[in-house]
Amino acid sequence: MIPLKDENPTRTTAFVTLLLIAACVSVYFVVQPTGQVNLVGGNPDEQAVREIRFLLDSAAIPQEITSGEPLTEDEVDSTFPANGGPSSAALCPPDPGPACYPDKSIWLSVLYSMFLHGSLLHLAGNMLFLWVFGNNIEDRRGRVTYLVFYLLAGIVATAAQVAIDPDSTIPMIGASGAVAGVMGAYLVLYPNVRIRTLILFGFIVLFRDIGAKWLLGLWFVSQFFIGPNSGVAAMAHIGGFVFGLLAGLVWRMTSGGPSRAPYRVA
């Protein structure tokens, strides 16, 4: 199920949400090697090496966060085995020392990862969800509070994933954890708002208006059924969503209950 729009008009322009979307899109196409290849083309094999090197130097990695030290060449080799792929000799700078990227800022990588994406589809999905649900949270809580909340949701999401897999040497990227926090807050604050949703059943395409509590509730439950080898950091989604739920409950208790749109859009 893919949300397309909600019947929940805002009073102000969602400048922070637009800025976050613009930042993620810009980073993908201007900074990340994958996005640059999507934009101007290039050698796929060379691009793969550049992308892995970029992620090793920039993205959050659970083992680095728990140890406080960047990955070693041996850890890089075990994560990206040379058979059929690049070895640490190709992925690490020449003579890096014990650590592959010794100058990496491990704690800032948690923040950087919120703006990195693995593919154009990954980016588009996250930005769509952020726009549908984020503008109303920004409108309700104000720009500064919303931005702080968004970043904290992303940090909590990363911490949740690290907590269940602290020894993982696989880079974590994507705005999904932070966006999940926005979705959790939306569920509490606007449970009855109708969401125009695209539903796919094989070759059957349906458009339906679904209550936010059902759409977001089903999305949350579905995260518990994502397999450990799927390549998806499901616990990051769960952690971000729960953080959003808690923040939404606090906001709801201090503002007199859930909100409804002032009118319905036909």
CA distance 216 to 183: 7
Domain ranges for the chain: 2-255
Cβ distance 234 to 156 under 8 Å? no
> What number is the average pLDDT over the span 190-198?
94
CA distance 82 to 98: 19
pLDDT at 242 exceeding the cut of 90: yes
Q: Give the pLDDT confidence of 43-75 residue by residue, as tens digits.
A: 656 777 888 899 999 999 999 999 999 998 888
pLDDT at 253 exceeding the cut of 70: yes
pLDDT at 256 exceeding the cut of 90: no
Q: Give the pLDDT confidence of 106-137 residue by residue, as tens digits.
A: 999 999 999 999 999 999 999 999 999 999 99
Q: Is 1.20.1540.10 the CATH number for 2-255?
A: yes
pLDDT given for residue 205 in this prediction: 84
Percent of the chain surpassing pLDDT 90: 66
Q: Give the pLDDT confidence of 198-226 residue by residue, as tens digits.
A: 988 778 888 889 999 999 999 999 999 98
The angle at the Cα of 114, spanning 112 to 118, to the nearest 5 degrees, equals: 100
Write out the two tokens for 95.
């003579």
With cut-offs at 50, 70 and 90, classify the pLDDT of residue 83. Answer: very low
The angle at the Cα of 46, spanning 44 to 48, to the nearest 5 degrees, equals: 70
> What number is the average pLDDT over the span 77-103?
72
pLDDT given for residue 136 in this prediction: 96
**The tokens 């969800």 sit on which residue?**
129
Q: How far is CA 248 from CA 241, 243, 245, in A?
A: 10, 8, 5
